[in-house]
C-alpha cells in the first residue's frame, strides 16, 4: 500500500515537472515572437538583461536588409562625419540586422550595438533611440578609422573586438567571431554599394 502511494506521488511530481518545463519553453517562445512594443518593455527591465537575456538574433549572411526606415538618419550621420553610407549600413546589418531594440548578451545596445562604455564616452543618454545610436556609432567608427589610419579592416576589428585587442595582437585578433564579422561586413558593403539609400 505504501509502495503504491510512493509510486503515485513520484508520478505526480514528474507530471508537474513536465508541465513547468513546457510552460517555461512556451513563455520563452512567446517573448521571442512578441511584437516590438512588448519587447521594448521587457528589454527595459534591467533585471532580465543582467541575467543575460538577449533578443538579438544574428543575421543570416545571405540576406542583407535595406533598412529604409533609418536611411535618412544614416545619410545625415554620414554627411556630418564624412563617412561611407555603405560601410555604416553594413555595420548595422552585421551588428543588429536593423533592429533598434537589439541587446547582446554583453550589453551592447541598439542598431549599431554600442557598448555601455562607448555610450557613456559619447554622452548618449538613450542608446535605443535610432538617431542617437546611429550618430554615436558613426562617430565612434570614424574615430576608429582615424586611429588606424583609414584601415577599414583594423577599424572594423576594433569595432567588434575592441581597440585593445587589435593593439595587443598587432592586427586583426585571431578570434573566429571577429574574422566572421569582418567577412560579413565586407560582403554587406559590396551589397550596399549597389543599393543606394532611399
Helices (H), the chain: 2-32, 36-43, 46-50, 71-81, 85-96, 116-122, 130-147, 152-161, 163-168, 176-193
Chain segment 146-167, per-residue pLDDT in tens = 999 999 999 999 999 999 999 9
Is 146 one of the catalytic residues?
no
Going from N- to C-terminal start, the domains of the chain cover 2-50, 68-193
Regarding pTM above 0.85, the answer is: no
The pLDDT-based confidence of 14 (bands split at 50, 70, 90) is very low
CATH classification number, 68-193, choose in 2.60.40.10, 1.10.530.10, 1.20.120.80, 1.10.510.10: 1.10.530.10
Instruction: Give yes or no for a contact between 70 and 98, defined as CB atoms under 8 angstroms apart.
Output: yes
- Closest among 99, 118, 98, 97 to 107, alpha carbons compared: 118
Res 69: pLDDT? 82
- Biggest CA–CA distance in the chain, Å, is 83
Amino acid at each position: 500500500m505504501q509502495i503504491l502511494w510512493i509510486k503515485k506521488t513520484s508520478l505526480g511530481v514528474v507530471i508537474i515537472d513536465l508541465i513547468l518545463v513546457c510552460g517555461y519553453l512556451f513563455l520563452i517562445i512567446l517573448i521571442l515572437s512578441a511584437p516590438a512594443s512588448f519587447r521594448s518593455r521587457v528589454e527595459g527591465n534591467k533585471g532580465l538583461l543582467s541575467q543575460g537575456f538577449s533578443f538579438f538574433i544574428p543575421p543570416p549572411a545571405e540576406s542583407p536588409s535595406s533598412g529604409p526606415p533609418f536611411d535618412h538618419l544614416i545619410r545625415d550621420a554620414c554627411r556630418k562625419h564624412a563617412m561611407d553610407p555603405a560601410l555604416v549600413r553594413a555595420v548595422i546589418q552585421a551588428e543588429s540586422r536593423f533592429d533598434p531594440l537589439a541587446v547582446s548578451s554583453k550589453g551592447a545596445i541598439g542598431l549599431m550595438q554600442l557598448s555601455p562604455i562607448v555610450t557613456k564616452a559619447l554622452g548618449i543618454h538613450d542608446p535605443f533611440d535610432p538617431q542617437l545610436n546611429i550618430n554615436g556609432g558613426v562617430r565612434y567608427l570614424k574615430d576608429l578609422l582615424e586611429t588606424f589610419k583609414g584601415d577599414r579592416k583594423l577599424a572594423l576589428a576594433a569595432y567588434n573586438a575592441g581597440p585593445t585587442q587589435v593593439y595587443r595582437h598587432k592586427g586583426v585578433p585571431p578570434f573566429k567571431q571577429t574574422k566572421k564579422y569582418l567577412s560579413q561586413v565586407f560582403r554587406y558593403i559590396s551589397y550596399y554599394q549597389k543599393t543606394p539609400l532611399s
